């Protein structure tokens, strides 16, 4: 899936500017399974508008720069429906954290502890993003499904890491006592 489809998908839930789409994938409900940078979002939006799949409207704001609000068109909805009806690619998960843990023989216990804590913070941050969006938001039942799935998976990770962390802490304490 490319950034074009991503934008179309978000715009099908609500109107938004490029800046707001970036926020959605950075801090919003979608942050834990989507990603895109300004460098890909803005060109995609321009292209989408040129093809008539979205409309643009300049919105003046007081105290803030003007923004371009994009909205999906019927043609855009068709294109979106087509794009997401194909069997999706398998989820991609890349974790440098797990790579580090795999190679823990090369790491000092302190470095390990720092890495685990960082991972814990990252997971909790994502959990926070999901919680912030509240039970109802943009995508209705779809958003709820995604929130529940994310919550389940993220929570499982946290639980596992809390256990590991406690284990490590105890080991460190024993070592210090010797």
Partner DNA sequence: TGATGCATGTAATCCGTTACATGATTCA
Partner DNA sequence: TGAATCATGTAACGGATTACATGCATCA
What does the binding site for a second copy look like in residue numbers (CB under 8 A)? 1, 6, 9, 12-13, 30, 32-35, 77, 80-81, 84-85, 87-107, 111, 114-115, 118-119, 122, 139-143, 145-146, 148-150, 152-153, 155-157, 159-161, 164
Using rule CB under 7 A, residue 19 touches DNA: yes
Where is 59: in which H helix or E strand? strand 54-59
Among positions 112-171, residues that touch DNA (CB under 7 A) are none
Beta bridge partners of 70: 16, 56
Q: Toward DNA, which CB reaches closer, 38 or 145?
A: 38
Give the footprint of DNA on residues 57-86 (CB under 7 A): 61, 63-68
- Residue 176 beta carbon to DNA: minimum distance, rounded to whole angstroms: 36
Closest to DNA by CB, 55 vs 144, is 55
Q: Cβ–Cβ contacts within 10 Å for residue 114, how many?
A: 12
Strand 54-59 vs strand 67-72: parallel, antiparallel, or unpaired?
antiparallel
DSSP of 103-172, one letter per residue? TGGGS-HHHHHHHHHHHHHHHHHHHHHHHHT-S--TTTHHHHHHHHHHHHHHHHHHHHHHHHHHHHHHHH
Return the number of the residue (67 or 100) whose C-beta is nearest a second copy: 100
Shortest Cβ 150–a second copy spacing (Å) = 8
Q: How far is CA 136 from CA 13, 65, 164, in A?
A: 12, 29, 34
Can you read off the two tokens belonging to residue 66? 């003007």
Contacts to DNA by CB under 7 A: 1-3, 17-20, 23, 35-40, 42-43, 45-46, 61, 63-68
């Amino acid at each position: 899936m490319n950034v074009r489809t991503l934008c179309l998908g978000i715009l099908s839930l609500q109107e938004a500017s490029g800046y707001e789409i970036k926020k959605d994938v950075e801090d919003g409900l979608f942050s834990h399974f989507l990603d895109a940078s300004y460098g890909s979002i803005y060109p995609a939006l321009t292209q989408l508008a040129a093809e008539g799949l979205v409309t643009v409207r300049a919105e003046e704001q007081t105290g803030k720069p003007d923004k371009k609000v994009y909205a999906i068109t019927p043609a855009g909805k068709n294109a979106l429906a087509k794009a997401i009806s194909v069997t999706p690619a398998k989820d991609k998960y890349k974790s440098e954290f797990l790579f580090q843990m795999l190679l823990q023989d090369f790491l000092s216990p302190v470095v390990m502890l720092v890495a685990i804590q960082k991972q814990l913070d990252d997971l909790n941050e994502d959990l926070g993003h999901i919680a912030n969006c509240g039970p109802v938001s943009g995508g209705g039942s779809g958003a709820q499904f995604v929130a529940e799935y994310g919550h389940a998976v993220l929570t499982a990770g946290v639980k596992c890491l809390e256990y590991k962390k406690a284990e490590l802490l105890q080991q460190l304490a024993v070592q210090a006592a010797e």
